[in-house]
Structure 1
């Protein structure tokens, strides 16, 4: 069990730390990650939505950033990595000219 816990990332470790045996830990990981292929399409759709986001003329910066955060949080809920720097870059590069 020690080798298994040391061999996984912190995110996975928190999911298996309550398991008492390595079999329980492996079963837990199998249960959680078995359906990962089914989650790929929603992630692809959300990433496309993120890529296509643009600020509208009548939107405030707050409204626009909230819209971005909703998409990013949905991507993260599906266990996909998404860096803060990428979010900041999106906001900065897609703001209207009047905000530059």
Structure 2
């Protein structure tokens, strides 16, 4: 059974990169080594793996990755820190 990992990297500039892969540790090494010169993480190394979760269904993994990419930094940090109870409130827009 193939495993798909959705992962979040923390970059040197404190930004987050979210990705998906079927070989997490190989992909982390590619990010860390700067294998892809035009990638988001290349100029932001070193990177740190701060979160990952695994899926057996690629469509579910792709959907989760897409959702996370649209999240605010605060919401990503709540996920990373396991503060799941904060996630619903961080999704709400504050109106004045």
Q: Normalised by the size of structure 1, how large is the TM-score?
A: 0.25
- Greater relative CO (CA pairs within 8 A, separation 6+): 2
Over alpha carbons, which structure has the higher Rg? 1
Bigger proportion of residues as helix = 1
